[in-house]
Structure 1
Amino acid sequence: MTNANEVFGETLVKSLKGERGHIPIERALSDIDYELAGKQIGELPYTIYQLLSHMLYWQRWFLGYLEGEQPVLPKSAMESWPEEDKPTNEEEWNKMIEELLSGVDQACEFAMNTQLDEPLEKWPTEPKAGILRNMASHNSYHLAEIVLIRRIFGAWPPPGGGYPS
């Protein structure tokens, strides 16, 4: 008989990294340069840079809870979005991508090495699996927006193709 915690952990890892349902997050971001990250068009409400900044904000928040912290919930959702619309340079942009991917790896470690139905220390009504699922869903939602923006700018597919592997 299979351990349900292990099976669900493996499922969460697939959702966090991206598979079948969407392109792996690393491949979708791998070739975006800082100019494309800050490019704007028409009525789009945000840039790829702003989306990734927002994803990082919430990823840090989710991981904080998993690490036993109690992150402060912003007073408004707008606090999780940056005012600037583009990174200052390629180095800043690349660090952001690295941080996002590192955070995904960290979440995957939690998914595989923790009791997923345990409640969080600082949020006892939420199990660890709930935080990981929320992080995966949030990243997936905004990754789809990044893919759409790339398509609008003719910057799709990435190297290796745009179909999930």
Structure 2
Amino acid sequence: MTQTNTAFRDALIKSLRGERGHLPTINAITDINMKLASHKQEELPYSIYQLVKHMSYWQDFLLALAKGENPEKPKSVSESWPEHPAPSDKEEWKKTIQHFCDGIDEACHLADTLAIEEPLDAWPSETPGGLLRNIASHNSYHLGEIVIMRRLNGAWPPPTGGFPA
């Protein structure tokens, strides 16, 4: 592996975890209670719960592609958004957060172990590294929305602090 590939892998893993330009992603979501996760403000199109489910949907989809699988493409982007703003109960919310965090761990593992620069058989114009970078940027984009939603609801900073670690 070249020094460039090693540097890209390291930067990619840090971006997936949220260690570059902002606090670690898990620090911004793991302490959110069900009430806040379910709250949908009139001015906003979705709740934090819906955001995390949406992030997980695309994270799962892109992880499958990065591993060389061929997941069914959604007919519409709307399929990636849950209809209801709230989980059915606290256990569902806990599982939603855990699934999302497990996906970040899997993405980091893939970044560290796959030939991230090799074109994918099912999608020759794309590489695992490109898909993992897409996960990092998509999650970062929506993490910013979650931070703003937390601020609007007086739930910022999280117990771990609100600045990069």
Residue 149 of structure 1: aligned partner: 149
Residue 39 of structure 1: aligned partner: 39
Residue 131 of structure 2: aligned partner: 131
Matched pairs, number: 165
Residue 114 of structure 1: aligned partner: 114
CA distance in structure 2 between the partners assigned to 1:54 and 1:72 by the alignment: 16
Residue 57 of structure 2: aligned partner: 57
RMSD value, Cα: 1.3
Deviation by residue 1:46-86 (Cα, 9 ceiling, x = unmatched): 00000001001101100111222112222221111110110
Runs of 4+ in 1 over 3 A off after TM superposition: none
Gaps of 5+ in 2: none
Gaps of 5+ in 1: none
Residue 161 of structure 1: aligned partner: 161
Relative to the length of structure 2, the TM-score reads 0.95
From the superposition, tell whether residues 2 and 68 of structure 1 become closer, same or farther in structure 2 (CA, over 3 Å): closer
CA distance in structure 1 between the partners assigned to 2:2 and 2:61 by the alignment: 32
CA distance in structure 2 between the partners assigned to 1:52 and 1:11 by the alignment: 23
1:144 is displaced (CA, Å) by 0.7
1:134 is displaced (CA, Å) by 0.4
Deviation by residue 1:90-110 (Cα, 9 ceiling, x = unmatched): 111111111111111111011
CA distance in structure 1 between the partners assigned to 2:23 and 2:10 by the alignment: 17
CA distance in structure 2 between the partners assigned to 1:114 and 1:3 by the alignment: 16
Residue 20 of structure 2: aligned partner: 20
CA distance in structure 2 between the partners assigned to 1:98 and 1:123 by the alignment: 29
Residue 11 of structure 1: aligned partner: 11
Relative to the length of structure 1, the TM-score reads 0.95
Work out whether residues 67 and 128 of structure 2, in 8 Å CA contact, stay in contact via their aligned partners in 1: no
1:75 aligns with 2:98: no
Paired AA for residue 141 in structure 1 = Y
